[in-house]
Amino acid sequence: MRIVTAGEMKALDMATIKDYRISGLVLMENAGRQVVEVIKGVLGDVRGKVVTIFIGKGNNGGDGLVAARHLLNIGTEVKVLSLFNADEIGGDAGMNLEIWRKMEQKIYYLHQGDAINIVKLVLMNTELIVDAIYGTGFRGKISEKTGRVIEVLNDSGKPIVAVDIPSGLEADTGRVNGPCIRADHTVTFGLPKLGLFLEPGADYAGQLTVADISIPSILVERTAPRRYLITSELVREWLPSRPSSAHKGSFGRVLIVAGSRGMTGAACLAGEGALRAGAGLVTVAVPETLHDIMESKLTEVMTVPLPDTGKGTLSKGARQRILSLLKGMDVLAIGPGLSQVQEVVTLIRELLPSVGVPCLLDADALNALSGAGDILSKAQAPVVITPHPGEMARLLGLTVKEIQDDRLGAARKASTTWNVVSLLKGARTVVASPDGAVYINPTGNPGMATGGSGDVLTGVIAGLLAQGLEPEPAAAAGAYIHGLAGDLAAREKGMTGMIAGDILAALPSAYKKLSW
């Protein structure tokens, strides 16, 4: 599913109206009816129930007026409160205002008098609130008077359904610069807006419904940007089949170079993550002095000792041994728990240009490239990098704040600069490819903010690469499956007590959920 900015969605709307002769009134009618469907899902039988709709002066308010009309027609008691004068409501919204008046229905105007007390009084008998005040064109900060109304709505304890986007949220950036509706549900039209998936915007949207309003699919395919929301349907398309005649060699061989003294867990989680992702054979290579530990910790994963410094870290002499092992492998994943000692830094920098199979770099492999990101461009085979914001900041020479302020831009910059697929971890993980495609992952939760979670992700993506997925879908599908496993684990155990092993254990259930 494509994700759009406000301007991109407006262009799609205008092309629909101009080129396909589907009028703005039809689009507005469809939008309002879709809002009603979500309200029915929240309230059940809406007959006799009270819904209060707050409207603005633009098309968002018009969508709210359409919803008001259809709710009234099916027996709902509807109250409409406007934040603007009637003469400020024009265009298609104005036509729907006129229809509402001809139905002999009242509108309460809040631009004069004691608006807050009127709102509080109306809400006393309201069972659901509809926010149709501001739409995707909103920028900046809500006015003080409207802000006070929004604060009352947020404090009311009533469920709130936002029309297209919560009022006060910037559609392109996810920024909130003042009071903003905290919706329980958001019904967004045509295509989801970027700000609904970027923090803090995602926290204000609640449960998201993407509603069809008759934008032609062929128009979306031809003109919408290559910016995607990762969905279960998309992941199912990417996942390889597992024919009945297959054997363990059919699903690829993964080599994971990881671990140092005190960090053997990272290597174990990555190795088991690759197996749980469906790889046929997985080998974890660790510093020689740690090998016996790994032999006892891992059962299904094979292990190999590598030359080390005698202190539980790899020596640069491990380079030739790794290259030799890669002759029988389909994928290399390197970095989890390797440490940042100078010999490891030297090893990574000298190894990468010689790797001839798809390579995933995480954690300390990325730290080794801080200030030397151009080495990525020298890779012979496709590369996936999976930095968290701090690692990405060091790679790009930026601050963490700069990365977080423009996560999509940062991921794109890394991909196009070094010709790699970049996966920027965090709330709403972003995946970018060198050809400009960007994916945003909706799965995952705060319970996954725990040591080892990223190591499991490394294994999952490596396992998908081993099964023949190209780097772009492997990274995007890996992020989705990893987040889905985290969501399933949180549902069973709660977020506070979750550990990375819980995510690992939930991977089979995540795959099972995707198989239906």
Report the CATH number that the domain containing residue 89 is assigned in CATH.
3.40.50.10260
Pairing relationship of beta strands 302-306 and 227-229 according to DSSP bridges: unpaired
Please state the rounded mean pLDDT for residues 397-409. 95
**pLDDT at position 342 over 80:** yes
Contact in structure between 481 and 510 (CB atoms under 8 Å): yes
Q: Is the pLDDT of residue 412 over 80?
A: yes
* 256 and 294 fall within a common domain: yes
Backbone angles phi, psi at 297, to 5 degrees: -85, -30
Can you give the three-state secondary structure of 259-319, one letter per residue? CCCCCHHHHHHHHHHHHHCCCCEEEEEEEHHHHHHHHHHCCCCEEEEECECCCCCECCCHH
Give CA–CA dist 410/395, Å, rounded: 10
249 and 100: one domain?
A: no
One-letter amino acid at 391 equals E
Rg (CA), the chain: 26
What pLDDT score does 516 carry?
A: 66
- Tell me the pLDDT of the chain averaged across its residues: 96
Which among 174, 214, 170 is positioned nearest to 191, based on CA atoms?
214
Look up residue 282 and give its two tokens.
């997985």
- Using 50, 70 and 90 to split pLDDT, how confident is the model at 115? confident
Are residues 186 and 238 both part of a single domain?
A: no
Dihedrals φ, ψ of 300, to 5°?
-80, -25
Q: What is the pLDDT of residue 191?
A: 97
Reduced to 3 states (helix: H, G, I; strand: E, B; else coil), residue 161 is strand
User: Is the pLDDT reported for residue 14 higher than 70?
Assistant: yes
Contact 82, 107 (CB under 8 A): yes
Nearest Cα neighbor of 32 from 194, 189, 215, 216 is 189
Where a domain ends, among 225, 240, 270?
225
Question: Each residue of 235-263: pLDDT tens digit?
Answer: 999 998 888 888 888 899 999 999 999 99
Residue 393 Cα distances to 91, 388, 389, 397, 401, angstroms: 47, 9, 6, 6, 9
Clarify whether residues 332 and 253 are in a common domain.
Answer: yes
Please check the confidence at residue 207 and state whether its pLDDT lies above 70: yes
Q: What integer is the mean pLDDT of 164-178?
A: 96
For residue 18, is it within any domain? Answer: yes
Residue 146 lies in a domain: yes
Does 112 score more than 80 pLDDT?
no
Q: Are residues 408 and 442 in the same domain?
A: yes
Strand partners, 303: 284
Mean predicted confidence (pLDDT) in 317-329: 96
Contact 407, 440 (CB under 8 A): no
φ and ψ at residue 303, rounded to 5 degrees:
-130, 150
Which domain covers residue 357, as residue numbers?
A: 232-515
Is 122 contained in some domain? yes
SS3 108: strand
Shared-domain flag, residues 216 and 247? no
Tokens of 339: 């440490």
**pLDDT digit string (tens) for 288-309?**
999 999 999 999 999 999 999 9
Residues 193, 273: one domain?
no
Average pLDDT over every residue of 116-137: 95
In a domain, 1, yes or no: no
Residue 114 has a pLDDT of 81
At which of 225, 256, 285 does a domain end?
A: 225
Distance CA 68, CA 12 (A): 26
> Total domain count for the chain?
2
Percentage of the chain exceeding pLDDT 70: 99
In a domain, 275, yes or no: yes
pLDDT of residue 440 exceeding 70, the answer is yes
Let me know whether 20 and 50 are in one domain: yes
Co-location of 217 and 257 in the same domain: no
Question: Mean pLDDT, to the nearest integer, of 493-512?
Answer: 97
Among the three residues 188, 208, 225, which one is the final residue of a domain in this structure? 225
Residue 217 lies in a domain: yes
Find the mean pLDDT for residues 276-287. 97
Q: Is there a domain that residue 367 lies in?
A: yes
Separation of alpha carbons 485 and 447, rounded Å: 11
CATH number at residue 459: 3.40.1190.20
Task: Decide: helix, strand or coil at residue 363.
Answer: coil
